[in-house]
Amino acid sequence: MTPTSTARSLPGSGEERRHLIVAIVNNKPGVLNRVASLMRARNFNIESLAVSVTERSDTSRMTLTIVGDEVHVEQAAKQLYKLIDVLKVQDVTDESIVEHEFALIKVRATKRTRPEIVSVAEMHRSKVVDLGDEAVIVEAVGEPAEIDTLVELLREFGIKELVRTGSVVMSRGSGSIEEQVKR
């Protein structure tokens, strides 16, 4: 039936956007699999995922980017939190954060284009970490949009290989997600 003004609204606005979720999890084998399996089973698409150990060796920190409306993403966070090995989940999208990503970009180079590539890299807070006769590797750190821009500029030289880590985030100020984990 066509929705009318009296129809009950369904959960979620349907307005999709990119959300950044931070999860503090037990640093144990299989936890990444639990998280990935849950996201797949519940039909959430992970755009990027970065995992590493935290200040405490018994916990890891995951940063996930998920696209969806607010209810969809809230469901993802709640379902994640149901995993026994997940200690803390927070959607930091609208918080004051530093969001950075790391990328390595292998660019096709010739004697003629090499200085040009180096200068493009330098103009974008990135640096050349390997200089060969036919290719250079540019290392970039920054917000995903900055890296997007750099990649666009380097594309005209020809990109042979590109690897990005996905975003990692940290809230500005003295607050700490890891310290909020109740033990």
Partner 1 sequence: MTQAGHVPGAGTPAASAAERARRDMLRDARVTARDGVRPRIGADALCEAILLQGSDTIWGYPGGVILPLYDVLVDHPELRHILVRHEQAASHAADGYARASGNVGVCLGTSGPGATNLVTGIGTAMLDSVPVVVITGNVPNALIGKDAFQEIDITGITLPMTKHNYLVRSADEIPHVIAEAFHLARSGRPGPVHVDITKDALMGETKATHPSTAEIESGLPGYKPKLDGHPRQIKLLAEAIAGAKRPVILAGHGVLIAGAERELLELARTAHIPITWTLLGIGVIDETDPLAYGYMGMHGWKHVNRAIQSADLLIGIGMRFDDRVTGNVRTYAPKAKIVHIDIDPAEIGKNVVADLPIVGDAKHVLDALLPLVTKVDPATRADYFAELAAWRTESEGSSWHGSGGFRDGVLSADFVVDRIAAGSNFDANLTADVGQNQMWVARYGGFRRANSHLSSGGLGTMGFALPAAMGAAVAVPEKVSWAIAGDGGFQMTLQELATIVQERIPVKIALMDNKKLGMIRQWQEIVYGGNYHSEQLAGPDYLKLCEAYGLPAWKVSKPEEVDAAVAAALAADGPALIWFEIAERQNVYPMMPAGKGLSDLIDKWGDDGEDVTEGATGPRVDPMDPTSGGAK
Which spans of this chain sit near partner 1 (rule: CB under 8 A)?
A: 1, 3, 6-11, 25-26, 30, 33-34, 37-38, 41, 71, 74-75, 78-79, 81-87, 181-183
Q: Which is nearer to partner 1, 55 or 152 (CB)?
A: 55
| Number of residues that this document lists for the chain | 183
Q: Which is nearer to partner 1, 9 or 96 (CB)?
A: 9
Buried b (16+ CB within 10 A) or exposed e, 157-180: beeeeeebbbbbbbeeeeeebeee
Residue 174 CB, shortest distance to partner 1, in Å, is: 23
CB contact at 8 A, 99 and 144: yes
Using CA atoms, how far residue 67 sits from 23, 28, 63, 165, in Å, is 16, 27, 13, 17
CA distance 56 to 39: 26
Residue 4 CB, shortest distance to partner 1, in Å, is: 9
Q: Which is nearer to partner 1, 89 or 147 (CB)?
A: 89
Residue 101 CB, shortest distance to partner 1, in Å, is: 27
Residue 78 CB, shortest distance to partner 1, in Å, is: 4
Q: Which is nearer to partner 1, 35 or 138 (CB)?
A: 35
Report phi then psi at 57, rounded to 5.
Answer: -70, -15
Using CA atoms, how far residue 75 sits from 14, 21, 56, 96, 125, in Å, is 14, 12, 28, 23, 37
Q: Which is nearer to partner 1, 79 or 90 (CB)?
A: 79
Residue 12 CB, shortest distance to partner 1, in Å, is: 9
CB contact at 8 A, 110 and 117: no
